[in-house]
């Protein structure tokens, strides 16, 4: 798993990585060790505040990496140099341009606070393949999702977590979705659906 979740790149000035999302819905942390890059993030305009913009099968309808529709997407550029670390949530379309010869170190991870969006990203990259991502990871990444669900099961079932949710400050359980809320329940359901359909969502099966 280390070769999947930890990576590095060396690129020349003006090197370009077209718009894509990271495979398997991974969130990303990236830090430039030398040089500079523009990291351009895309998000949907006119978003519904009660729905994740990536949760619809129509999200990438008419998606073309070379011609992003400015009527649909808004862009934000972040200048990365050795003083900056960027944390990017899963399923975020992004483009990268090198301003100088650059060495970059990055890590992929799943975060509870954005796990539902990551599950949407996993499905999008499985269905659209290289039309939406620039690399494929092996199916071993699913073990990270199983471990998260195992943590949540231990909290809620083995340790009677529903009772402790009512008695403990929320920060004590930051890595566990609050299933007493709609958002927390939907997070657990999203992960459960991906695990239930792991075989169908495995590229090695096709």
Question: What does DSSP say about strands 73-80 and 6-11: parallel, antiparallel, or unpaired?
Answer: unpaired
Calpha distance 125→56 (Å, rounded)? 13
Domains of the chain: 2-131 (2.60.120.650), 139-205 (no CATH)
- If the chain, 206 residues long, is cut into consecutive pieces of 10 residues, what is the mean pLDDT of each piece? 80 94 95 97 80 81 79 92 96 95 96 95 92 83 92 87 63 80 94 94 86
Instruction: Outline where the chain has alpha helix (H).
Output: 2-5, 115-128, 142-153, 161-167, 182-196
- What's the confidence (pLDDT) of residue 145? 94
Q: How far apart are CA 134 and CA 20, in angstroms?
A: 6
**For residue 28, which of 79, 87, 85 has the smallest C-alpha distance?**
87
Number of helices and strands (H, E) in the chain? 5, 8
The alpha-carbon radius of gyration of the chain (Å, integer) is: 18
Q: Quick one: tokens of 60? A: 């990438």
Give all strands of the β-sheet with 27-34 in edge-to-edge order: 6-11, 102-109, 27-34, 85-88
């Amino acid at each position: 798993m280390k070769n999947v979740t930890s990576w590095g790149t060396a690129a020349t000035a003006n090197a370009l990585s077209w718009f894509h999302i990271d495979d398997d819905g991974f969130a990303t942390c990236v830090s430039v060790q030398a040089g500079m890059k523009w990291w351009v993030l895309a998000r949907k305009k006119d978003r519904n505040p009660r729905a994740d913009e990536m949760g619809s099968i129509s999200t990438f309808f008419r998606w073309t990496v070379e011609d992003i529709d400015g009527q649909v997407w808004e862009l934000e550029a972040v200048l990365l140099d050795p003083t900056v670390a960027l944390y990017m949530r899963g399923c975020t379309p992004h483009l990268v341009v090198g301003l100088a010869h650059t060495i970059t170190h990055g890590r992929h991870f799943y975060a509870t606070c954005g796990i539902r969006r990551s599950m949407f990203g996993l499905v999008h990259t499985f269905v659209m393949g290289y039309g939406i991502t620039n690399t494929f990871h092996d199916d071993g990444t699913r073990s990270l999702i199983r471990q998260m669900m195992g943590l949540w099961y231990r909290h809620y079932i083995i340790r009677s977590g529903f009772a402790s949710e009512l008695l403990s400050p929320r920060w004590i359980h930051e890595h566990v979705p609050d299933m007493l809320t709609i958002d927390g329940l939907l997070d657990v359901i999203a992960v459960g659906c991906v695990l239930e359909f792991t075989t169908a969502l495995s590229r090695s099966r096709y």
